[in-house]
Amino acid sequence: MLTPAAALETILARVAPLAAEQVPLLDAVGRVLAAPLVADRALPAWDNSAMDGYAVRFAELAVGSPLPISQTIAAGHTGDHPLAPGTVARIFTGAAVPPGADTVIMQEDVTADGHSMTPTELPRAGANVRRQGTDVQPGQALLPAGRGVTAGDVGLLAALGRSVVSVVRAPVVTILSTGDELAAVDAPALARGQIRNSNAWMLAAAVRAAGGVPRIVPIVPDDRAAVDAALAEGVQADALLTSGGVSVGDYDHVGHALRALAGDAFGFWKVAVKPGKPLAFAMVGRCAVFGLPGNPVSAGVTFELFAAPALRKLAGHTRLARRRVSAVLDSALPAAQGREIYARAALREVDGVLHVDPARTQSSGALSSLAAADALVITPPHTPARGAGSAVQIMRLDIEDRVAP
Ligand code: AMP
Ligand code: MG
């Protein structure tokens, strides 16, 4: 059976970042730059004052010697250029320093009467002047392609006058739930045997977090013709996530239907992972299709392991899978046989060291344990049981910490 690492490698080899699109500046947050940001101008564009004070020629300053104030320059104004020799300019933070001045003495270091100012303490030569281009030089490479745009980046883009940004298109992801037992989240009352379609909402939330645009489609019954039709429609997106019906039971049609639809582009149907052994992947045209198991925990964990990195790659990210870090085990973990186990666990930090406590129930139907999980503890195949205090590898779910594959 395919290892999780080999399955992810297969998936990532077959998806590529989507094309670029232009979006308004604020819509770039959380999206990925399609091209590097290169400065087309200097920041600051002109020398300006870092303080409220007086723009001076440093060589003319002496403690106790008054100098007349020849002009006043507020932020947004340029004053009467240049600074007349033997005089100073009253200046405020962010105002353009007049030609001739080389230093700003801050107002706390002078006495002044409105007509002249007298230094009580001398600044360093050149102090309190933010020189043109000291922040950003024209032609400077500022941000690489593949970078997830942050609020700080938006500030930089705005300062450079970029009101429109070229980002990678966000993948549109169909979310298709199969199962005769499923009812809508807002169905007024459920018959015995029915459950709410929680997977669709969980997966939609996870798709958003991965940078995709979820499209939940109507519940599909456990009927081969209905599954065929829904898959054919669902692949009109950049990715398709199905949940349920991917095992080998009499009513599990997704695997067979996907194999028929994908033909030669069918990838795999089983991965040596727990939770989640039945897990299908195929490319149908340009659509990456993930047949996720129906059990909520299995669907959530396999999404995290396999679909999230793929959606992030489609969305242009270069850091795709969560980083694996080590932690100390706080309670025992059973041995692994042939499958790699991902156990839900609570995380805490003790004196800067991460500790994990695996959930008591690792049942793949236990949604409460998935909601409570801060981390997944990884047990590679054929690992013996481990006791409290052992060092283990984990994936944190509580932070976004990802690495390039
Ligand atoms: P399946 O993979 O179709 O055999 O389903 C496995 C288990 O997951 C069953 O208990 C289903 O009722 C449950 N399940 C399947 N689909 C969903 C869903 N969309 N939301 C919540 N639970 C589901
Ligand atoms: Mg089912």
Q: Where does the chain hold its CATH 2.40.340.10 domain(s)?
A: 322-403
Q: Where does the chain hold its CATH 3.40.980.10 domain(s)?
A: 4-18+170-317
Q: Which residues surround ligand 2, an ion (CB under 5 A)?
A: 179, 244-245, 294
Mean pLDDT of all residues in 40-49: 97
Compute the mean pLDDT over every residue in the chain, rounded to the nearest whole number: 96
Query: Separation of 362 CA from ligand 1 center, angstroms?
Result: 16
Q: Using CB atoms within 10 A of its CB, is residue 391 exposed (0-12), middle (13-18) or buried (19+)?
A: exposed
Contacts for 308-312 with beta carbons within 8 Å, 24 or more apart? 308/206, 308/209, 308/210, 309/8, 309/11, 309/12, 309/405, 310/11, 310/12, 310/15, 310/239, 311/171, 311/173, 311/207, 311/210, 311/211, 311/212, 311/239, 312/210, 312/211, 312/402
Query: Separation of 243 CA from ligand 1 center, angstroms?
Result: 7
Q: Whose CA is nearest to atom 23 of ligand 1?
A: 294
Q: Using CB atoms within 10 A of its CB, is residue 331 exposed (0-12), middle (13-18) or buried (19+)?
A: middle
Residue 175: nearest ligand to its CA?
1
Q: Please give the C-alpha separations between residue 161 and each of 142, 156, 207, 228, in angstroms, as whole numbers.
A: 14, 9, 32, 50
Calpha distance 351→400 (Å, rounded): 22
Cβ atoms of 321 and 405 closer than 8 Å: yes
Q: Whose CA is nearest to atom 15 of ligand 1?
A: 294
173-178-179 Cα angle (round to 5): 160
CATH class of domain segment(s) 322-403 = mainly beta
Q: Tell me the pLDDT band of 337, cut-offs 50, 70 and 90.
A: very high
Query: Separation of 7 CA from ligand 1 center, angstroms?
Result: 23
Q: Whose CA is nearest to atom 3 of ligand 1?
A: 244
pLDDT in tens, 89-114: 999 999 999 999 999 999 999 999 99
Query: Separation of 365 CA from ligand 1 center, angstroms?
Result: 8
Q: Where does the chain hold its CATH 3.90.105.10 domain(s)?
A: 20-43+134-168
Q: Whose CA is nearest to atom 16 of ligand 1?
A: 294
Mean pLDDT of all residues in 121-125: 98
Calpha distance 286→239 (Å, rounded): 8
Q: Please give the C-alpha separations between residue 11 and each of 7, 171, 241, 277, in angstroms, as whole numbers.
A: 6, 16, 14, 16
Q: Is 18 helix (H, G, I), strand (E, B) or coil?
A: coil
pLDDT in tens, 147-203: 999 999 999 999 999 999 999 999 999 999 999 999 999 999 999 999 999 999 999
Query: Separation of 180 CA from ligand 2 center, angstroms?
Result: 7
CATH of 48-130 given 3.40.190.10, 1.10.10.10, 2.170.190.11, 2.40.50.140: 2.170.190.11
Place of tokens 């970029």: 162
- Closest ligand 1 atom to residue 298 Cα is 8
> Looking at the domain that runs over 20-43+134-168, which CATH code has it been given?
3.90.105.10
- Closest ligand 1 atom to residue 177 Cα is 19
pLDDT in tens, 208-237: 999 999 999 999 999 999 999 999 999 999
Query: Separation of 210 CA from ligand 2 center, angstroms?
Result: 26
Architecture of domain 4-18+170-317: 3-Layer(aba) Sandwich (3.40)
Which tokens hold the place of 215? 């499209």
Residue 291: nearest ligand to its CA?
1
Q: What pLDDT score was predicted for residue 370?
A: 87
Residue 219: nearest ligand to its CA?
1
Q: Tell me the pLDDT band of 364, cut-offs 50, 70 and 90.
A: confident
Q: Where does the chain hold its CATH 2.170.190.11 domain(s)?
A: 48-130
Calpha distance 70→192 (Å, rounded): 88
- What residues does ligand 1 touch, defined as CB less than 6 Å away? 177, 179, 181-182, 195, 197-200, 243-245, 247, 293-296, 365
Q: What pLDDT score was predicted for residue 362?
A: 82
In total, the chain counts a number of residues equal to 405
